[in-house]
Homo-oligomer: A and B are copies of this chain.
């Protein structure tokens, strides 16, 4: 990561949890976390913990019927006490919050981005990402974990002869990571404390080939420059590469 070193120069940055600016939090991926789903993964990125399940259904929604194509969709939700203050359930409020909607849609797009819908055939995969504990980066952890659950569901579908080759359905792997600018310094993988004071905050989903699936950068506190963007993208590329190594390692086990 030449660029990052250059940018920071000799300045010595201490993050509150002792990590370097380009260092991920510890990642742990547990497959077969629960028994019922076709894919069930617990992903832990530092203190953030998301349960990702994949449900395989041998049919598609009505609007997709007779297209020969499959469908992948996602729903994201947070348990009420995933956060330090309790948040009311969407079901109690009677409507899904805008943030929930937005994240669900993001996860769905990321996973659809690496699926060959024709190879999937008229089958549907529903990804449920439920945050048990939230410490920043819940949406990116969801993408990274959901990919593993998706692969498990496709392997299950192959075994049960719903699809021919799971491998042909998956065009590449996908992971996501957050990056941001805190106190003027671009950083990788922000926990809540850093995220809440970031000037800019960006979520980047990338394929194994290093290409982008989703890129969402927001500057509520201070606009960011093209140079800052470049550094953030370098950090994200590094982080995603490491997350994909963790995904491969988890999927290699049995």
Contacts and interface: CB of A to CB of B under 8 A. Distances in A.
Contacts of A113: 219-220, 223
Interface stretch (A22-30, A78-86, A140-148, A156-164): A78-86
Nearest to A128: B80
B128 A81 contact: yes
B211 A214 contact: no
A229 interface: yes
A20 B80 CA distance: 38
A92 B75 contact: yes
Contacts of A51: 79, 132
Interface centre among A101, A215, A218, A223 (most CB of B within 10 A): A223
A229 B175 CA distance: 18
Contacts of A233: 226, 229
A133 B132 CA distance: 14
B223 A79 contact: no
Interface in A57-88: 57, 75, 77, 79-84, 86
A105 interface: yes
A253 interface: no
Contact of A35 (B47, B216, B217): B47
B112 A220 contact: yes
Interface in A102-118: 102, 104-105, 109, 112-113
Contact of A91 (B89, B126, B132, B223): B89
29 contacts: A34-B82, A36-B82, A36-B84, A51-B132, A55-B81, A55-B86, A75-B80, A75-B92, A77-B89, A79-B128, A80-B126, A86-B128, A90-B91, A91-B96, A91-B100, A95-B95, A97-B101, A98-B104, A101-B102, A102-B102, A102-B105, A113-B220, A211-B225, A212-B217, A212-B223, A212-B226, A212-B229, A215-B217, A216-B216
